[in-house]
Every structure is written in C-alpha cells, then in structure tokens.
C-alpha cells in the first residue's frame, strides 16, 4: 500500500471516530451536524460543505447546515426540485463528482450569484436512511479537479451517521409532538368530566334531600309501599352520587387540578373520624374491627383529607368483603425513612390472583356475584392510588382468594414535593 493511502485511510477513520464522539455528546443536533461537516471540510481540505434536506411533498431541497466563507448566506435557502447538482443527486439517489462546473450543464450558478462564491468543483452524495433519501451532503471547492474517488468515499462514509442522526431527531420531535397532543386531549377530557360530574352532583343531592324529607314524614304520612319505593330510590341515588363523586375526583387528577394541602395532625384523629362509619358498615356481621397504633406515634405533616380518603377506601373494602373474622388496622413508624406504615389486614373473600394487576385501574371489579352484590363502581382503589402517588406513598397488596387480604400503605411522615 502506498504510505499516502494509509495516512488518508487513517484520517478517515479518525474523522468517523470524531463524529461518533460528537453523536455521544448532549449538544443540540444542529451544532453536532455543523461540527461534523466542519471536520469533514477540514479533513478533505475543501472550501465549503453543506447539508440539504428534502421536502417529500415538493421535492425541494433546503440548506439545513453549512460551513465555509459564505455559509451564513445559505441558511434556509431552498433549491427547486431537481435544481443544480444537489437537486440531481436528490432525484437520482446517486453520488456525483463534478471536476469542473464550467463543463457541466447540470450545474446551477444561482447560489454563486447570490453569495459571490466561485464554485469550480463539487462532490455530492445522498443521505439515506433504510433506503429512503432524506437529503444530500455536498462539498465545494474553488479549484477545478479537487475531488476524486477517495473524497467521494470519505463523504459517503460521513453521510451514513449524519443521515441517521437527522432521522432520529426527526422521529423524536414527531413523537414529542404526538405526546403533547395526547396530553392535551387527556387534559381537555379530564376538565370536561370534572365539570360534568360536578354539575351532576347538585341535582342528585337535591333528590336525596327530598327523599330524606319524604322518608322522615316531614311532608305527610307515607305508606309502607311508598316507603319501599323511596328507599330503593335513596339507595340508587346514593350509588349515583358516589359514582359522580368518584369520577369527579379521578378527572380532577387527570386534569392536573389536585393540589396537596399540608397540615399537622395525628393518625388517631383520622381513625376516630372514620371508625363509626366502619362499625355501621359492619353491623350485623361477626367481624371484629381492631385498631392497633404503635404507642406514641408521632404526628404527620401531610395532606390529611387525602390520607383519610386512602385509608377509608381501603378499610371500606375490607368492611364490604369480610363476612366473618377480623379487620386489623395497625400503624407504626419506620424509623430510618421517617415513613408511617399502615397495614390493613382482613379475613375476607380475598382477591383472585389474576385480578391483582388490575386492582388499581378505574372501573375494575373482581368478577363474580359477590362484587356485584356489594355495590360500588370500582373507583375506590384507583382514587386511593392516585392520591397515594401525590403524597409519595406506596400501596401494596397481598391476597389469597378465600383467605383474606392485606394492604400495606407507606407514607412519608412529612410531605415533601421532591
Ligand atoms: N379487601 C378486599 N377484599 C376482597 N376484594 C377486594 C378488597 N379490596 C378490593 N377488592 C376487589 O377489588 C375491586 C376494586 O376495589 P375498589 O375499591 O376500587 O372498587 P369497589 O370497592 O368495587 O367500588 P368503590 O370503591 O368505587 O365503591 C373490588 O370490586 C373487589 O373486587
Ligand atoms: Mg372500594
């Protein structure tokens, strides 16, 4: 091998290694591409080089990056479909070397007239990704005969990574655009649901209020038959109100409208506000409700209402799905992480294993007559999970069908947004 050949081969390898390094940096794409073609110009000893990208609808080529004396004037300039050597390469997909533009009819002098540059020779190669042409890489020189096979090989070698970089950046920006559109659509849907369910709650509350008056005998005597009808209406209105409230909560989360309100409180207070409701829910069932807080549990500094909702939704499920045995709720401090750990353990129906992955999804209820007969709409745990995420809490579950269920809640004792 001729020693000059090996020097050139080495510089091409070095050039590609430098470009690979550039790809690995966190610089913006335009800077990476400009640096890559600047290096290429230097190694090849040419006066200017540029990248032009094709518009697939019109076939026009637009300068994306350029280096050399007149580079600034070329930025965003467009060549018509098929115009000049670059246009020819974009149309045919073939590399071209022009040793002297004076003897080349396909050469368009328009760019030179615009910039005052005097092109004599050109090498131009296509940029292709998976066989599809995305643009061209062009090098120009003021001297005739500057380009041969070797220079064409170097340009072709550089074109491959450059084409992939540009295509990746295009794909990323396309995905980002889609993601933004989806996020916006979901936000609008959330806002719409929030408004609709909010509006729905007012008439349901009025219906419940009036049924209450009728059932209480405040507007006259009620026969047994009328009472039965009204009680059925009351139950169904209560379910409808729960549904509307659940959807309202959930859609507020989706619309990003839920804020954390931090206050200092004791877990015992929260429990005592809920306990009576749990006991009413358990009335008529042989189920023992046990509250076991660790002695001297320190106060919490987090969102009291949200923690109460999480606890209430989880314990109410135990109340609903346990017919005998016990529901044991224990609370303790896990010291090193300063988190409060609450375990809710019941001896109820248990949750089928195949249902566990769906447990926290909205409107999901384990199959079977049991769930249907206990009412509810399948929103309690979905809401608890979202509230938990907001408070940086974790909610885990262990369950065995027929044996019982244990929920483990761990919540930072002091809320912090990080
Ligand atoms: N402790 C439990 N024991 C048995 N099954 C449970 C328990 N907790 C949850 N499940 C199952 O998980 C499903 C989802 O619970 P979730 O609280 O989200 O909905 P729900 O209780 O059916 O309705 P809602 O809470 O909206 O009134 C329940 O329908 C039930 O099948
Ligand atoms: Mg529930």
Mutate to test the pocket of ligand 1, among 310, 313, 365, 382 (most ligand atoms within 8 A of CB): 365
Same domain, 136 and 186: no
Q: Which residue is listed with tokens 């809490």?
A: 393
DSSP state of 367: S
Probe ligand 1: pick from 239, 278, 325, 381, max atoms within 8 Å of CB? 381
Q: Domain containing 107 — which CATH number?
A: 3.30.450.40
Residue 351's pLDDT is what? 93
Q: How far is the CA of 418 from the centre of ligand 2 (A)?
A: 29
CATH code for position 330? 3.30.565.10
Closest ligand (CA of 249): 1
Ligand 2 center to 314 CA (angstroms): 7
Confidence of residue 417 (pLDDT cuts 50, 70, 90): confident
205 & 157 share domain: no
Banded model confidence at residue 10, pLDDT cuts 50, 70, 90: low
**CA 344 – CA 336 distance, rounded (Å):** 22
Say if CB 378 and CB 362 are below 8 A apart: yes
| pLDDT at residue 46 is higher than 70 | yes
Confidence check: pLDDT of 305 > 80: yes
Query: Do 250 and 382 sit in the same domain of this protein?
Result: no
* 6 pLDDT above the threshold of 60: no
Which atom of ligand 1 is found nearest the CA of 243?
26
Rounded CA gap, 89 and 78, in Å?
A: 15
Best mean pLDDT range from 235-249, 337-351, 353-367, 373-387: 337-351
The rounded Å distance from CA 245 to ligand 1 centre is: 16
Spatial distance between the Cα atoms of 367 and 362, rounded to a whole number of angstroms: 14
Ligand 2 center to 292 CA (angstroms): 22
User: What's residue 48's pLDDT?
Assistant: 94
The DSSP 8-state label assigned to residue 368 in this structure reads S
Do 62 and 151 lie in one domain? The reply is yes
User: How are beta strands 78-79 and 286-293 bridged, if at all?
Assistant: unpaired
Q: How much is the mean pLDDT over the chain?
A: 89
Q: Is residue 418 part of a domain?
A: no
For position 73, what pLDDT does the model report? Answer: 93
Tell me which of 370, 378, 388 to substitute to probe ligand 1's pocket, judged by most ligand atoms within 8 Å of the beta carbon: 378
Q: Rg (Cα) of the chain, in Å, rounded?
A: 36
- Integer Cα distance of 204 and 413 in angstroms: 37
Contact 121, 98 (CB under 8 A): yes
- Mean pLDDT along residues 258-274: 94
Does 154 reside within a domain? yes
Q: Which atom of ligand 1 is nearest to the CA of 380?
A: 25
Q: Which residues does residue 345 pair with via DSSP β-bridges, in sequence order?
A: 328, 406
With respect to residue 112, please indicate whether it lies within any of the assigned structural domains: yes
Under the banding of pLDDT at 50, 70 and 90, the label for residue 1 is: very low
Residue 339 has pLDDT above 90, yes or no: yes
Q: How confident is residue 378, by pLDDT bands cut at 50, 70 and 90?
A: confident
Q: What per-residue confidence (pLDDT) applies to 115?
A: 94
Percent of the chain with pLDDT over 70: 96
- Whether residue 417 lies inside any domain: the answer is no
Q: What is the pLDDT of residues 96-122, one digit of tens each?
A: 999 999 999 999 999 999 999 999 999
Rounded to the nearest whole angstrom, what is the distance from the C-alpha of residue 301 to the centroid of ligand 2?
Answer: 26
Q: Which of 132, 156, 173 is the last residue of a domain?
A: 173
* pLDDT bracket for residue 362 (50, 70, 90): confident
Q: What is the mean pLDDT of residues 286-307?
A: 95
Of 268, 266, 260, 335, residue with least CA distance to 300: 266
Give the residue from 254, 272, 296 where a domain finishes. Answer: 254
Do residues 26 and 145 both lie within one domain? yes
Question: What pLDDT, on a 0 to 100 scale, did the predictor assign at position 371?
Answer: 64
Point out the ligand 1 atom lying closest to the alpha carbon of residue 404.
3
In a domain, 130, yes or no: yes
Contact call for residues 129 and 147 (beta carbons, < 8 A) = no
pLDDT classification of 389: cutoffs 50, 70, 90: very high
Kindly report, residue by residue over 322-337, the tens digit of the pLDDT: 999 999 999 999 878 7
- Contact call for residues 392 and 415 (beta carbons, < 8 A): yes
Confidence of residue 370 (pLDDT cuts 50, 70, 90): low
**pLDDT at residue 5 in the model:** 46
Strand order in the sheet with 48-54: 78-79, 61-68, 48-54, 132-141, 121-129, 96-98
Q: Give CA–CA dist 13/10, Å, rounded.
A: 5
Of 4-8, 17-21, 328-332, give the lowest mean pLDDT range.
4-8
Q: Are residues 285 and 235 in the same domain?
A: no
Q: Is residue 195 part of a domain?
A: yes
244 pLDDT more than 80: yes
**331/211 same-domain check:** no
pLDDT at 4: 40
> What residues does ligand 1 touch, defined as CB less than 6 Å away?
246, 313, 317-318, 321, 346, 348-351, 359, 364-366, 371, 376-382, 405
Residue 304 Cα to ligand 2 middle (Å): 19
Pick the last residue of a domain from 173, 188, 203. 173
Residues 146-169 pLDDT 10s: 999 988 998 998 898 889 888 888
More reliable by pLDDT, 314 or 9: 314
Q: Which domain holds residue 351?
A: 263-412
Task: Assess whether 109 and 240 both reside in one domain.
Answer: no
For residue 375, the ligand closest to its alpha carbon is 1
For residues 149 and 285, state if they share a domain: no
pLDDT of 9 strictly over 80: no
Nearest CA owner, ligand 1 atom 27: 376
Residue 375 domain-assigned (yes or no): yes
In a domain? residue 167: yes
**Ligand 1 atom closest to residue 246's alpha carbon, by position in its atom list:** 26
| Domain identity same for 239 and 306 | no
Cα 70 from chain centre: 43
In the chain, the largest separation of any two C-alpha atoms, in whole Å, equals 114
Residue 374 and residue 235 in contact, taking contact as beta carbons nearer than 8 Å: no
Shared domain check, 211 and 298: no
Q: How many domains does the chain have?
A: 3
Residue 406, pLDDT > 80, answer yes
Q: What's the gap in Å between 395 CA and the centre of ligand 1?
A: 14
Kindly state whether residues 404 and 324 are assigned to the same domain.
yes
What separation in Å is there between the alpha carbon of 366 and the centre of ligand 2? 11
Nearest to 66 by CA among 46, 81, 43, 82: 46
């Amino acid at each position: 091998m001729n020693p000059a050949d090996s020097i050139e081969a080495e510089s091409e390898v070095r050039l590609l290694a430098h470009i690979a390094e550039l790809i690995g940096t966190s610089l913006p794409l335009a800077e990476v591409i400009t640096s890559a073609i600047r290096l290429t110009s230097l190694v090849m000893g040419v006066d200017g080089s540029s990248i032009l990208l094709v518009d697939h609808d019109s076939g026009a080529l637009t300068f994306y990056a350029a280096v050399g004396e007149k580079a600034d004037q070329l930025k965003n300039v467009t060549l018509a479909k098929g115009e000049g050597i670059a246009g020819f390469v974009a149309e045919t997909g073939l590399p071209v070397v022009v040793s002297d533009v004076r003897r080349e009819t396909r050469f368009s002098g328009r760019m030179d007239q615009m910039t005052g540059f005097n092109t004599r020779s050109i090498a131009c190669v296509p940029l292709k990704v998976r066989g599809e042409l995305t643009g061209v890489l062009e090098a120009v020189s003021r001297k005739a005969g500057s380009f041969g096979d070797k220079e064409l090989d170097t340009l072709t070698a550089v074109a491959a990574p450059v084409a992939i970089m540009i295509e990746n950046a295009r794909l990323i920006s396309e995905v980002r655009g889609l993601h933004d559109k989806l996020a916006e659509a979901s936000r609008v849907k959330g806002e719409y649901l929030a408004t609709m369910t909010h509006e729905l709650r007012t008439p349901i509350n009025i219906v419940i209020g009036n049924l209450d008056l009728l059932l209480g005998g405040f507007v006259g005597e009620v026969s047994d038959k009328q009472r039965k009808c009204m009680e059925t209406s009351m139950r169904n209105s209560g379910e409808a109100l729960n549904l509307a409230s659940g959807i309202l909560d959930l859609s507020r989360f989706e619309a990003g409208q839920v804020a954390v309100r931090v206050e200092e409180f004791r877990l015992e207070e929260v429990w005592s506000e809920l306990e009576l409701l749990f006991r009413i829910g358990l009335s008529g069932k042989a189920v023992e409700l046990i509250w076991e807080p660790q002695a001297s549990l320190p106060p919490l500094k987090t969102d009291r209402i949200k923690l109460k909702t999480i606890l209430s939704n989880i314990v109410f499920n135990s109340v609903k799905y346990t017919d005998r045995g016990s529901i044991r709720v224990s609370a303790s401090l896990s010291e090193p992480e300063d988190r409060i750990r609450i375990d809710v353990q019941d001896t109820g129906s248990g949750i089928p294993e195949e249902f566990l992955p769906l447990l926290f999804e909205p409107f999901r209820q384990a199959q079977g007559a049991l769930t249907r007969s206990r009412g509810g709409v399948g929103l309690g745990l979905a809401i608890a999970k979202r509230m938990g995420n907001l408070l940086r809490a974790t909610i885990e579950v262990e369950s065995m069908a027929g044996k019982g269920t244990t929920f483990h809640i761990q919540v930072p004792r002091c809320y912090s947004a990080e």
